[in-house]
Amino acid sequence: MSDTVSIYIHVPFCIKKCVYCDFYSDTQLSFIPEYLCSLEKEIGLRSKKQTDQRVDTIYFGGGTPSVLTIHQVETLLKTVQKNFSISPDAEITFEVNPGTIDEHYLAALKDIGITRLSLGIQSFNKEKLAFLQRIHSVRQGRDAVEYARKAGFDNISLDLMYGLPFETKELWHMDLTTALQMAPSHLSCYMLTIEPGTPLDEHQQNKKFKPICPDVLWDLFEKTSRTLETSGYEHYEISNFSRGKKNRSAHNSGYWNMKPYMGFGPAAHSYDNDIRSWNIRDVAGYICKLEAEHLPVEETEALTLDQKMLEMIMLRLRTLEGIDLEDFKRRFGITFESRFEQVIDQVCSASMGKIEKGTIEEPRFFLTLEGKTHLNSIVEAFSQRLVE
Ligand code: SF4
């Protein structure tokens, strides 16, 4: 059992829904005060069941955490600090939408103890922002980075999005170049995915646009990796880049390493000791449950050995290091090579993966850049092997 745990706090409110988004969030901001009371109650109730695991990362995600006032954020953070044992050097990340903040807000976040900002820039191009229906302008995106610097944050991550229907190499290159000029310590570059049930999905079905051709998309992915690596960023996870190991997202790395985490708020997931659970996906229902002093859990499942194996493969193949073969053997009592010999051979002979048995590092199996462009089908091949 890990002696540290991560905490995720969901702030499920947004000023307006972005057209592509399928995260759980609500635009009724009037729920916020009542919601925060319930959130504090959930934190209090669950901390009583907690052992003495130390919290080494806290992540305020959304939704849009930056719709909260500083006083509300500070009260929430104090509640977490009161109920859990927090490492003195804990990474405390806060997601910011550039359309909701000013210089004072970011300075105040720094003062109350936030250590890392994740700025939802998405693009520095007006047309791209309009297509995504973001609430902020190009100017506000640029300002957010400047304010973050002025506030004294060194650890700043920018979220960017590519693969819009009209995206060209030039357009994406401009976004990347603009971001690089700002020298953030971390970049998350996400491909636009059209999630079922979103307005974007509906627009696509009504033929309002034609999605980008997959070959162009993967070409952009490879170019992103090459451009950022040339600029000194490590491509440490399929969508994530950092200036060296120390600037990786410790919180998200915890997910990819299957470390325990506790998620608070509607739709938040938790994982510990092979048990996964998630909360109900509805603010009003969440508040009701907590008013009655009940935990707002929707479901709990115990992972089988095969599920754990697949989870590990799925998560670790996203990363630069891939699967630690010694760790696999320790966890599952069998070697990765003997369990998946055929699939490994196929992936390696197609130059999409490699087994590396270094003298300094643990032996590992990882995907090459080309392999990462086929991640889903490779994971599917491993999954098939498990059911055979
Ligand atoms: S701001 Fe973020 S969470 Fe809110 S709708 Fe847009 S993408 Fe979704």
Mutate to test the pocket of ligand 1, among 11, 19, 23, 131 (most ligand atoms within 8 A of CB): 23
Picking from 93, 79, 82, 279, the residue whose alpha carbon sits closest to that of residue 185 is 93
Note the pTM of the prediction, 2 decimals.
0.96
211: left (phi over 0), alpha (psi -120 to 50) or beta: beta
CATH at 60: 3.20.20.70
- Asked if 95 and 67 touch (Cβ cutoff 8 Å), the reply is no
Domain that includes residue 67, residue range: 4-256
- Domain-located, residue 276: no
If you search the block for the tokens 């451009």, which residue do you land on? 227
- 249 and 362 part of one domain: no
- 329 and 252 part of one domain: no
How far is Cα 115 from Cα 96, in angstroms, rounded to an integer? 13
Inform me whether the pLDDT recorded for 177 exceeds 80: yes
- Domain-located, residue 284: no
Inform me whether the pLDDT recorded for 1 exceeds 70: no
Q: What is the bridge-based pairing of β-strands 116-122 and 86-96? A: parallel
- 58 and 166 part of one domain: yes
Average pLDDT over residues 378-384: 97
Q: Which of 228, 256, 284 is the last residue of a domain?
A: 256
Picking from 206, 236, 116, 124, the residue whose alpha carbon sits closest to that of residue 172 is 124
List the structure tokens of 147.
């304010």
Confidence of residue 359 (pLDDT cuts 50, 70, 90): low
Average pLDDT over residues 222-231: 98
Q: Is 62 in the pocket of ligand 1 (CB under 6 A)?
A: yes
Could you tell me the distance, in angstroms and rounded to a whole number, from the CA of residue 66 to the centre of ligand 1? 11
Inform me whether the pLDDT recorded for 48 exceeds 80: no
- Domain-located, residue 288: no
Tallying the residues shown for the chain, one arrives at 388
How far is Cα 255 from Cα 355, in angstroms, rounded to an integer? 23
- Domain-located, residue 231: yes
pLDDT of residue 299: 98
pLDDT per residue as tens digits for the range 321-356:
999 999 999 999 999 999 999 999 999 999 999 999
- Domain-located, residue 274: no
pLDDT per residue as tens digits for the range 183-205:
999 999 999 999 999 999 999 99
Q: Is 61 in the pocket of ligand 1 (CB under 6 A)?
A: no
pLDDT per residue as tens digits for the range 200-213:
999 999 999 999 99
Inform me whether the pLDDT recorded for 230 exceeds 60: yes
- Domain-located, residue 283: no
Give the residue, by CA position, lying nearest to ligand 1 atom 5: 17
Coil, helix or strand at residue 29: helix
